[in-house]
Amino acid sequence: MIGRLNHVAIAVPDLDAAIATYRDTLGGEVSAIEPQAEHGVNTVFVTLPNTKIELLGALGENSPIAKFLERNPEGGIHHLCYEVEDILAARDRLLAAGARVLGSGEPRLGAHGKPVLFLHPKDFLGTLVELEQA
Amino acid sequence: MIGRLNHVAIAVPDLDAAIATYRDTLGGEVSAIEPQAEHGVNTVFVTLPNTKIELLGALGENSPIAKFLERNPEGGIHHLCYEVEDILAARDRLLAAGARVLGSGEPRLGAHGKPVLFLHPKDFLGTLVELEQA
């Protein structure tokens, strides 16, 4: 069912410093900051030959990554995103297996403009998993 | 400098349960368990179209992931591994930039039989980074 690893998301307290780390220290190909007001984050993409790293900074007072950053003040890996061919079929398979889908269970448009769902970390080895329609 | 994302490593308390999660629930292509006695871990690889997920279980009394699992009893993402063309040149560039390389600073053979180094999480956004000679 799961296909490509679309991205690994790293939440960071200081996006400019994170850009410097990935661009200057690690020599990666780093995008400009893209505000995603409707998701409460600023995003930066590091393009690797086979996948992407998504650097996430908090945007606004109710950012969904604010609590994570309180617990991880230096930053940390926030989630993994796997592509699936059919997100509704994937959701139904997961629910049938007893896994928990976060929120209403209805896909919403993610940062790439494609339908996404998030899965409960307790059902996936302590990792927050995003599924994105390929 | 950094090239492909070679793998994302997830440390887990129960490798059989983790295999079931990735094979049965998520429908991934999952290898058999490969003991890596010299590294103190059992490994399982989930082959995705563009990269791999490495599931790590503790092996032996002094496993290097034992403390991580104490802090994260349900498991969690342990490290990211980036490929580099020349690991000694990469190390020297990182040291010149003030980043910390763990251990002696000399590459050792990793789970794939290639030279690897680990970088200090405090210098890389709270994430443990492995570099592997491509």
- Rg for chain B, CA atoms, rounded: 15
In CATH terms, the superfamily for domain B5-133 is 2,3-Dihydroxybiphenyl 1,2-Dioxygenase, domain 1 (3.10.180.10)
Distance, CA of B43 to CA of B33 (rounded, Å): 6
* Chain A residues within 8 A of B94 when measuring between CB atoms: 25
A95 touches chain B (CB under 8 A): no
Among B14, B72, B19, smallest CA distance to B45 is for: B19
Size of interface A-B (CB pairs under 8 A): 113
B127 with A26: Cβ contact below 8 A: no
Number of Cβ within 10 Å of residue B88's Cβ equals 13
A50 with B50: Cβ contact below 8 A: yes
Provide the pLDDT for residue B29: 98
B130 catalytically annotated = yes
Provide the pLDDT for residue A127: 98
**pLDDT over 90 (residue B113):** no
Closest chain A CA to residue B122: A74
Residue in B28, B49, B126 nearest the CB of A76: B126
Distance, CA of B119 to CA of B57 (rounded, Å): 21
In the chain, the amino acid numbered B40 is: G
Tens of pLDDT, residues B27-84: 999 999 999 999 999 999 999 999 999 999 999 989 999 999 999 999 999 999 999 9
Spans of chain A, pLDDT less than 50:
none
Closest chain A CA to residue B78: A77
The percentage of chain B sitting over the pLDDT mark of 70, rounded to a whole number, equals 100
Provide the pLDDT for residue A113: 87
Provide the pLDDT for residue B111: 78
Torsion of Cα atoms, B99 then B72 then A119 then A15, to 10°: -20
Chain A nearest CA to B37, separation (Å):
23
Could you state, in order of their start, the residue ranges of all structural domains in chain A?
Answer: 5-133
Pairing between β-strand A108-109 and β-strand A29-30 as defined by DSSP bridges = unpaired
What lies within 8 Å, CB to CB, of A4 at 6+ separation is A51, A82, A83, A134, B48, B49, B50, B51
* Chain A residues within 8 A of B124 when measuring between CB atoms: 21, 26
Distance, CA of A77 to CA of A80 (rounded, Å): 8
Chain B nearest CA to A85, separation (Å):
12
Provide the pLDDT for residue A40: 95
* Binding-face residues of B in 37-66 toward A, CB within 8 A: 48-51, 53, 55
